[in-house]
Amino acid sequence: MMRATVLAVFAAMLALPAAQAADPVKAAFVYVGPIGDHGWTYQHDQGRLAVEKAFGDKVETLYVENVAEGPDAERAIERFAREGADIVFTTSFGFMNPTIKVAKRFPDVKFEHATGYKRADNVATYSARFYEGRYVIGQIAAKMSKSGVAGYVASFPIPEVVRGINSFLLGAQSVNPDFKLKIVWVNTWFDPGKEADAAKALIDQGADIMTQHTDSPAPIQIAGERGVHGFGQASDMDAFAPAAHYTAIIDDWSAYYVARVKAVMDGTWESGDVWGGFDADMVVMAPYTDLPEDVAADAAAMVEKIRSGEFHPFTGPIHDQEGKLRVAEGERADEGMLLGMNWYVKGVDDKLPQ
């Protein structure tokens, strides 16, 4: 009798966590910045909320903010794996190696790494073709600029950022071949003060269009204060500079996150690489404001051309800074070249930090 009771209690104890674990799928998110950055991390969190909304109590989401790129990231990722997460999204380039390392130790957990290129059986990668949006804003910049100089607040010299700079300038050059681009590297993804200082320096040196590849709304806000114009980054930043904000390149991760969590639920998840742009609705343009009608209409038409595949921003001839032909006339840059881009196109007034 006694033994039976003990066994029953044991069985209950064993069964309880098992039953719970079988129920909701646990999806975990590792963020590089705070949700409140109103930029990169904010948009990833919107994706997380979309997952919650789509699956209700069939899913449980976990997240951790402000994880530094480096050894800290490995601990954060591993903690989620230990806590029984079924799928872990690591949302910054610098989380690549930690993700791969942890994935080796937890073969049953699925990992998704944003913007990286290393994959494994249980590690998929995904990213968005932000450069498509950058080509569009490059064209707008060249049409609207009076000084013919744009300022670019850049974070780190990685291919993702370099590709964006090149695409922006190619777009601008398609309108005005002499368009100039000034670049300041702030060596951080998120520091509103530094981003603002960089924007001020660029404007003081003659830039009248402000664009950025950092995460806070500070540069566009400075543009508004100084009476020049610019573009939001990652999310719609119109509220921060209503008179200055032409449009923004919005990252929309919702559809992707919902689809991948669904795949885990259905048991159909597979490793792979998704790199979606306008066509996958992963990159969306914010409403065009303060622009002449024809400029806005041209921009919308260009978005459609890129979406349908009729046009590719990296269509030759493209020369690099030394004048070497990188993409021949009429050809398109291949995926390998785009992913590993570590050279500037002709016309960039900066030396790429190595």
Q: What's phi and psi for 116, nearest 5 deg?
A: -100, -175
Cα–chain center distance at 64: 18
Would you say 185 or 257 has its CB closer to other proteins?
185
CB 151 within 8 A of CB 141: no
CB 202 within 8 A of CB 210: yes
Q: Which residues are bridge partners to 25 per DSSP?
A: 59
Long-range Cβ pairs for the range 275-279 (8 Å, 24+): 275/126, 275/127, 275/128, 275/129, 275/335, 276/126, 276/128, 276/129, 277/128, 277/129, 277/132, 277/306, 277/307, 278/129, 278/132, 278/133, 278/303, 278/306, 278/307, 279/307, 279/308, 279/309
Task: By CB under 8 A, tell whether 116 contacts other proteins.
Answer: no
Would you say 33 or 276 has its CB closer to other proteins?
33
Task: By CB under 8 A, tell whether 208 contacts other proteins.
Answer: no
Size of the site for other proteins (CB under 8 A): 47
Choices 6-14, 37-45, 111-119, 163-171; region in contact with other proteins by CB under 8 A: 37-45
Task: By CB under 8 A, tell whether 182 contacts other proteins.
Answer: yes
Choices 5-13, 67-75, 182-190, 258-266; region in contact with other proteins by CB under 8 A: 182-190
Task: By CB under 8 A, tell whether 197 contacts other proteins.
Answer: yes
Q: Which of 187, 325, 328, 334 binds other proteins (CB under 8 A)?
A: 187
Q: Measured between alpha carbons, how far is residue 245 from residues 273, 282, 337 in Å?
A: 33, 21, 32
Task: By CB under 8 A, tell whether 40 contacts other proteins.
Answer: no
Tokens (6 digits) for 25: 């799928």
Residues 6+ apart with CB under 8 A from 176: 142, 145, 148
Determine which helix (DSSP H) or strand (DSSP E) holds 111, and give its type and residue range.
Answer: strand 110-114
Q: Which of 69, 225, 281, 298 binds other proteins (CB under 8 A)?
A: 225
CB of 77 to other proteins, least distance (A): 20
Task: By CB under 8 A, tell whether 37 contacts other proteins.
Answer: yes
- Of 142-181, binders to other proteins (CB under 8 A) are 151, 157
Would you say 174 or 321 has its CB closer to other proteins?
321
- Of 288-307, binders to other proteins (CB under 8 A) are none
CB of 38 to other proteins, least distance (A): 5
Q: Which of 67, 140, 170, 184 binds other proteins (CB under 8 A)?
A: 184
Would you say 41 or 99 has its CB closer to other proteins?
41
* Residues recorded for the chain: 354
Q: Which of 95, 240, 257, 288 binds other proteins (CB under 8 A)?
A: 240
CB 253 within 8 A of CB 46: yes
User: What x-and-dash track marks residues 69-98 binding other proteins by CB under 8 A?
Assistant: ------------------------------
Q: How far apart are CA 272 and CA 35, in angstroms?
A: 27
Task: By CB under 8 A, tell whether 346 contacts other proteins.
Answer: no
CB of 108 to other proteins, least distance (A): 32
Residues 6+ apart with CB under 8 A from 18: none
Task: By CB under 8 A, tell whether 344 contacts other proteins.
Answer: no
Q: How far apart are CA 166 and CA 347, in angstroms?
A: 9
CB 138 within 8 A of CB 172: yes
Task: By CB under 8 A, tell whether 354 contacts other proteins.
Answer: yes
**Site residues, other proteins (CB under 8 A):** 33-38, 42, 65-66, 151, 157, 182-188, 190-198, 200-202, 204-205, 207, 216-218, 221-222, 225, 239-241, 349-351, 353-354
